[in-house]
Structure 1
Amino acid sequence: MKIYRIIFYSLLVIGALGCNTGADKLNVQVYETSASGNNLVQLENFSNETNENRIQVVLQPKQTKQTITGFGGSFTEASAYLLNKLSKKNRDSIIEAYFGESGAKYSLTRTHMNSSDFSLSNYSYAPVEDDKELKSFSIQEDLDDIIPMIKDAMNVSKDGFKILSSPWTASPWMKDNKNYVGGKLLPEYYDTWALFFSKYVAAYKNEGIDIWGFTVENEPLGNGNNWESMHYTPDEMTNFVQHHLGPKLRQDYPDVKILGYDQNREHLNEWVDSQYKNEETSSYFDGTAIHWYASTYHFYPEELQYAHKKAPNKYLIQSEACVDSEIPKWKDDAWYWKKEATDWGWDWAPEKDKPMHPKYAPVNRYARDIIGCLNNYVDGWIDWNMVLNKQGGPNWFKNWCVAPVIVDENSDEIYFTPLYYVMSHFSRFIRPEAKIFDVNHSDKDLMITAAENIDGSIAVVVFNEKEIAKKINLTLNDKSVTIDIKGQALQTIVISKP
């Protein structure tokens, strides 16, 4: 087998050397973010044009995989509150940076239904006890912050974006512990809680905002009873969707999607086994949502492939990720490239799990995870808060985290961290309905993914985590191009439609 591999790559080298001049040269644009200082900079000179010691990267656009749903971040009360504190100029610049044609062009977003830890306080849209018909239902809490932020984004987004909404908890009076934190939904309120989802769609629609889909529950396994949560077992969630939420939304808003699970990947198999046990259990599930907090470096390819094989025609969306348990470093790009960040597991994971939570570089974690997800059938990837302040909040529980954009609301300053540019490498160039396809390459230290957009353009994202620069020869059909990539650099190579 090794001999065949050597022959294969030798042929690639010979072919590449013979087709890298004149009419046989690929016409590309190269954008780079790097530890050396580039932030989504378009490179004018990206190759020394020699073919010596080049890594062969061969694109296989006919070997298609999943269809992309989108990339983006989350509309939280914390982010919206901070935007309200900024000048109009800076607010507009952040909205443009995320949703405008000159920015990241986010296409898939998330928000919370009722409060979350990244709210200023606990609240519910239905606070009146035993109001089974939800006559008191109101989204008043969102009218001053989340909804204006969404509308501003809609105004600058040329292609539009999807909104996935997630509840952290039902109203406390619907739960067995009568608390925002922990506990379970009482069976007597299953239909009321399903009605709650429908009321939410209607209320947002009345504001001119369409909800694309829901996750049934954010982190149904809980969060250590620290902030808003509500627990389900896999079969309890499947039962709720099959007999209550699914029929209600199918009746009222049949186009609204339902995604199950919505927590870390290490438990993914048991959840998809329950959701997709048979035709009856799976009929109301449109897909599955996942988070990345099980590890700072491992993206669980086996679990992702298992979920895809279990339901190949369903969505598999990364619905939340962030640099957690960290106070943001202000205007210090270098920190985001260094292995100095720690996550919740560094302090709190059981001893047996601590090896999954070493110190890490935030840029590496984002780039590795997104590429790893795309190469293992994930079709959407959503970051958590779009904007946080220098403390990593506001957050009523003081659960500080990092966002791609950090602001000082007191001095009206903005800091676009390297994480913003990493997200842009994917969201700006890999558009909804793009097809991920196979890439063959000869260097295990490079991570590469590629997609063909519906306009015929191709985006190839290459991540070089190592400090040593690399030289690649990129081949598509009978054309190729040589490209140099620095150490600790992320590149998006855009090939226009011929």
Structure 2
Amino acid sequence: MPEFKIYQSTGEQELFVEQSLQQVTAAASETVSAVVTVDDQQTFQEMDGFGASFTDSAAFLIHQVLDDEQRQEVMIKLFDPQEGIGLSVLRNPMGASDYARSVYSYNDLPAGETDLELKQFSVAHDEADIIPLLQQALKLNPQVKLMASPWSAPGWMKTSGSMIGGELKPEFYQAHADYFVRYIQAYAQHGLPIYAVTPQNEPLFEPQHYPSMLMLADAQSRFIRDYLKPALVNHDIDAKILCYDHNWDRPDYPLTVLEQAEAVVDGVAWHWYGGETSAQSAVLQAFAGTEVHFTEGSGGEWIPPFEQAFSNVMRTGIEILRNHSKSLVLWNMALDENNGPTVPGFGRSTCRGIVQINQQTRELVYTLDYYALAHFSQIIRPKALRLAAEASKETIRCVAFRNTDQSLALVLFNDSEENEHVSVQLPGAAPITITMAAKSAVSVLSNPSV
């Protein structure tokens, strides 16, 4: 039995290919150019895992556009830990996001009406495509954790009277907290436990062409502390509450929420569309014990060449984990040949899904995000503990974990423009020297006995 499993990506034509140790080991005459050392005596966060989102658009494409055989294939390749890449975290919109075929909530009413008791609440929309796929994902991988985030409260609760823009009216804070309760209860009835919620997706961004809701830090603190947490407690719901759910460039927001509501906030959720990953560690340093989660990052045409786009996911993914995140969740699980569907009036989409499903031909393509996620999720399993790992050269990016079966998982990315001969020193194993092409990724998994 081999001592290591090794997976390598060297470019668009070679993505996450399993290699033998002999195929990647440098010749004895080659000079080691970098050393990576893993210290298993120093541990950090425990992983929940890796994943993406079953938006309305993604669920429609997988559940309705693909035929039964294709659907089974893609779900296995996404979620099965042995035959696929074992994705284990799903963060779903509560109602419509920008990637939905229509604008909807779970409690839509005619203009001027209210429903404080939520008598018309229903998740029937999700029962068509989203819930069946979540149930299948959970069956394929029982370790899957479900997160939920609203892009907007129902329009009748807001100053705009619409799911587009506006803020949550204070008189409807309790109704919105009850809305979360009803959602969690409805999903539980379908065998889908909700692991964590965030009060609002991107609360500082108020676009006028898709569902959104401005929620400033003071308002979020009050909503969580005085309404959402008490509502969950009153209904014996133990879902975690993660604040913020926005970019690294405004750490002042989660710091404010934690200052005002730390006792009832479990963690902070982050996105990658602005700022630096170090913000995750800075907030954690200020509030020790607060969980760190990365809940959304999309690739797209703004980084068009393959190498740059793949490098961005690998480089940033490693840094997200090195900055204490328990999760790494990209955006749409699937998009079509036009990077959609999107809500009416959205305009041209430039985002990239984990898979692409052509609505005209039903062609199914696994994108670079699938293979980049594979470098992490295939070897770093739920409940793995991050270990200290350092490289002697800054351009060799690395992150290491110990799985519950005691196997060691190491993800490497060569961020230089040259080939590197990297000596990997794992605890309890003889050093191995791996040849890494420029901008290539290598994942190393030791046997549990090593």
Length-normalised TM-score, structure 2: 0.93
How much has 1:443 moved relative to structure 2?
Answer: 1.1
Query: Residue 176 in 1 paired to residue 159 in 2?
Result: yes
| Equivalent residue number for residue 325 of structure 2 | 378
User: Which structure 2 residues correspond to residues 147-226 of structure 1 after superposition, within 5 A?
Assistant: 147-157=131-141, 159-226=142-209
Letter in 2 for 1:131: D
How much has 1:289 moved relative to structure 2?
Answer: 0.5
Q: 1:399 to 1:210 in 2, by over 3 A?
A: farther
Query: Residue 277 in 1 paired to residue 259 in 2?
Result: yes
Letter in 1 for 2:277: Y
Query: Residue 63 in 1 paired to residue 42 in 2?
Result: yes
Identify which range, 468-477 or 68-77, moves more after superposition. Answer: 468-477
Question: Equivalents in 2 of 1:224, 1:480: separation in Å?
Answer: 52
How much has 1:490 moved relative to structure 2?
Answer: 0.7
Query: Secondary structure of 2:219's match?
Result: helix
How much has 1:476 moved relative to structure 2?
Answer: 2.4
Write the deviation string for residues 205-260 of structure 1: whole angstroms up to 9, x where unpaired.
11121111101100100243331111111111011100000110122133111110
Contact 1:234/1:271 (CA < 8 Å) preserved in 2? Answer: yes
User: Which structure 2 residues correspond to residues 113-132 of structure 1 after superposition, within 5 A?
Assistant: 113-128=94-109, 129-132=113-116
How much has 1:312 moved relative to structure 2?
Answer: 2.7
2:306 aligned to 336, 343, 362, which one? 336
Write the deviation string for residues 187-218 of structure 1: whole angstroms up to 9, x where unpaired.
11000000000000111111121111101100
How much has 1:384 moved relative to structure 2?
Answer: 0.6
Where in structure 1 are there 5+ consecutive unaligned residues?
1-25, 330-334, 338-360
Letter in 2 for 1:416: Y
Question: Equivalents in 2 of 1:473, 1:51: separation in Å?
Answer: 13
| Equivalent residue number for residue 89 of structure 1 | 69
Question: Equivalents in 2 of 1:399, 1:76: separation in Å?
Answer: 17
Contact 2:400/2:410 (CA < 8 Å) preserved in 1? Answer: yes
Larger Rg: 1
Query: Residue 73 in 1 paired to residue 52 in 2?
Result: yes
Letter in 2 for 1:368: R
Letter in 2 for 1:497: P
Question: Equivalents in 1 of 2:394, 2:201: separation in Å?
Answer: 35
How much has 1:274 moved relative to structure 2?
Answer: 1.6
Write the deviation string for residues 119-145 of structure 1: whole angstroms up to 9, x where unpaired.
101111111331000000001111111
Q: 1:130 to 1:36 in 2, by over 3 A?
A: closer
| Equivalent residue number for residue 347 of structure 2 | 398
Contact 1:162/1:212 (CA < 8 Å) preserved in 2? Answer: yes
Identify which range, 26-35 or 200-209, moves more after superposition. Answer: 26-35
Question: Equivalents in 1 of 2:413, 2:258: separation in Å?
Answer: 35
Question: Equivalents in 1 of 2:433, 2:402: separation in Å?
Answer: 20
How much has 1:53 moved relative to structure 2?
Answer: 2.0
| Equivalent residue number for residue 237 of structure 1 | 220
Question: Equivalents in 1 of 2:240, 2:309: separation in Å?
Answer: 31
Query: Secondary structure of 1:370's match?
Result: helix
Identify which range, 181-190 or 245-254, moves more after superposition. Answer: 245-254
How much has 1:462 moved relative to structure 2?
Answer: 0.4
Question: Equivalents in 2 of 1:120, 1:75: separation in Å?
Answer: 13
1:434 aligned to 379, 384, 396, which one? 384
| Equivalent residue number for residue 9 of structure 2 | 33
How much has 1:325 moved relative to structure 2?
Answer: 5.8
Write the deviation string for residues 16-41 of structure 1: whole angstroms up to 9, x where unpaired.
xxxxxxxxxx9322101121622211
| Equivalent residue number for residue 84 of structure 2 | 103
How much has 1:63 moved relative to structure 2?
Answer: 1.3
Q: 1:325 to 1:472 in 2, by over 3 A?
A: closer
1:472 aligned to 422, 425, 429, which one? 422
How much has 1:414 moved relative to structure 2?
Answer: 0.8
Query: Residue 144 in 1 paired to residue 128 in 2?
Result: yes
Contact 1:434/1:453 (CA < 8 Å) preserved in 2? Answer: yes
Q: 1:457 to 1:184 in 2, by over 3 A?
A: same
> How much identity, in percent, do the aligned residues show?
29
Where in structure 2 are there 5+ consecutive unaligned residues?
none
Query: Secondary structure of 2:255's match?
Result: helix
How much has 1:51 moved relative to structure 2?
Answer: 6.0
**How many residue pairs end up in the alignment?**
436
How much has 1:272 moved relative to structure 2?
Answer: 2.6
How much has 1:324 moved relative to structure 2?
Answer: 4.2
Question: Equivalents in 2 of 1:476, 1:118: separation in Å?
Answer: 43
Question: Equivalents in 1 of 2:195, 2:427: separation in Å?
Answer: 38
Q: 1:221 to 1:324 in 2, by over 3 A?
A: farther
| Equivalent residue number for residue 435 of structure 2 | 484
Question: Equivalents in 2 of 1:29, 1:153: separation in Å?
Answer: 25
Letter in 2 for 1:237: Q
Query: Secondary structure of 1:276's match?
Result: helix
| Equivalent residue number for residue 417 of structure 1 | 367
1:314 aligned to 267, 290, 303, which one? 290
How much has 1:398 moved relative to structure 2?
Answer: 3.3
| Equivalent residue number for residue 26 of structure 2 | 48
Query: Residue 369 in 1 paired to residue 316 in 2?
Result: yes
Moved segments of 4+, more than 3 Å? none
CA RMSD, aligned part only?
1.7
Length-normalised TM-score, structure 1: 0.84
Question: Equivalents in 2 of 1:385, 1:213: separation in Å?
Answer: 19
Query: Secondary structure of 2:194's match?
Result: coil
Question: Equivalents in 2 of 1:310, 1:61: separation in Å?
Answer: 25
How much has 1:275 moved relative to structure 2?
Answer: 2.2
Question: Equivalents in 1 of 2:165, 2:235: separation in Å?
Answer: 29
Letter in 1 for 2:95: N
Question: Equivalents in 2 of 1:390, 1:468: separation in Å?
Answer: 34
Query: Secondary structure of 1:277's match?
Result: helix
Contact 1:276/1:310 (CA < 8 Å) preserved in 2? Answer: no
Contact 2:299/2:369 (CA < 8 Å) preserved in 1? Answer: no
Question: Equivalents in 2 of 1:365, 1:290: separation in Å?
Answer: 17
Question: Equivalents in 2 of 1:445, 1:175: separation in Å?
Answer: 48
Question: Equivalents in 2 of 1:253, 1:107: separation in Å?
Answer: 25
Contact 2:277/2:323 (CA < 8 Å) preserved in 1? Answer: no
Letter in 2 for 1:75: F
